[in-house]
């Protein structure tokens, strides 16, 4: 089976994943360039993930490969060599096709979380400007306006810099698991120090909405004076009570559903 062969033609999810990926790779959105970023979605006990080396910009079905999650998940905690990782990425494919992205490990695990069917990982310039700055972790517990809560959740999970691949996947698992213990649900957004962001969702539109709103947050912070403004108190986040109120309001849940149905634009 090739990544866009018979099984690809039978896929219900792959066209939606391709459309989401093209949106995220559109140069006008400044979310990823060259071969940056990767995306994935669940499908019938397996998952689709971007193949290594492909650009999200204009990507087609041939840029994705269907994988079995079990071999990747079983590798957590085993510290395989680089050569073993490469072989594992090839052997997890449901047939032939392209080699999966080295980030297939994190996608395999993230797609096991309740309510997560699509994953988008990008490197927005506006967010990287914060992630490469001292003090970025402090922003993860802050929300600045209502739609920040609606689209990005009550807080952001933080992952210190780790080498991409399996080690990063293990660090993400630890961060997201701790987040779930504190907040009772998985995060919608994950920040990776000096690396990029991840958005999780039931639908492709939910992922797109979280990413675009998170980029807006980063721009707001920078335009208001950056991390220094937060530290000085001249940029004020919403109170914890306000965040919880927005997160629990039925009318905001209704707006969420509309946002995820209508998407973040074309």
* Helix residue ranges per DSSP H, the chain: 6-10, 14-25, 69-73, 82-91, 104-110, 125-131, 146-152, 166-183, 204-223, 226-232, 240-248, 250-262
For residues 40-65, average pLDDT: 95
Tokens of 76: 């957590």
More confident residue, 189 or 250: 189
From CA 224, how far away is CA 254, in angstroms rounded?
30
Tokens of 9: 């033609």
What band does 2 get if pLDDT is binned at 50, 70 and 90? Answer: very low
From CA 41, how far away is CA 65, in angstroms rounded?
11
More confident residue, 11 or 31: 31
Percent of the chain surpassing pLDDT 70: 89
Predicted local distance difference test score (pLDDT) of residue 102: 94
Q: What does the domain layout of the chain look like in residue ranges?
A: 6-262
State whether the Cα torsion 13-15-19-25 is positive or negative: positive
CATH number assigned to the domain covering 6-262: 3.40.225.10
**Is 50 exceeded by the pLDDT of residue 227?**
yes
What is the rounded average pLDDT for all residues in the chain? Answer: 90
Predicted local distance difference test score (pLDDT) of residue 41: 98
For residues 108-137, average pLDDT: 96
pTM for this predicted structure: 0.90
Predicted local distance difference test score (pLDDT) of residue 229: 86
């Amino acid at each position: 089976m090739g990544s866009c062969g018979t099984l690809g033609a039978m896929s219900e999810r792959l066209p939606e994943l391709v459309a989401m990926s093209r949106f995220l790779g559109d140069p006008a959105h400044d979310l990823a360039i060259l071969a940056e970023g990767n995306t994935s979605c669940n499908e019938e006990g397996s998952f689709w993930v971007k193949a290594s080396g492909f650009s999200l910009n204009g990507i087609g079905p041939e840029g994705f490969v269907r994988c079995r999650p079990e071999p990747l998940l079983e590798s957590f905690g085993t510290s395989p060599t680089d050569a073993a990782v490469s072989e594992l990425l090839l052997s997890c494919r449901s047939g032939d096709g392209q080699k999966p992205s080295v980030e297939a490990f994190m996608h395999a695990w993230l797609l096991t979380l309740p309510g997560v069917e699509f994953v988008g990982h990008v490197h927005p310039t506006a967010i990287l400007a914060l992630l490469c700055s001292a003090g970025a972790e402090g922003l993860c517990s802050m929300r600045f306006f209502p739609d920040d809560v609606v689209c990005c959740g009550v807080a952001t999970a933080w992952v210190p810099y780790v080498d991409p691949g399996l080690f990063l996947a293990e660090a993400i698992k630890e961060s997201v698991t701790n987040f779930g213990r504190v907040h009772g649900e998985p995060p919608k957004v994950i920040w990776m120090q000096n690396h990029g962001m991840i958005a999780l969702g039931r639908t492709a539109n939910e992922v797109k909405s979280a990413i675009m709103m998170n980029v807006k947050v980063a721009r707001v912070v920078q335009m208001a004076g950056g991390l220094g403004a937060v530290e000085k108190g001249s940029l004020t986040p919403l109170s914890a009570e306000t965040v919880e109120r927005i997160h629990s309001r039925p009318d905001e849940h209704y707006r969420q559903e509309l946002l995820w149905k209508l998407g973040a634009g074309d």
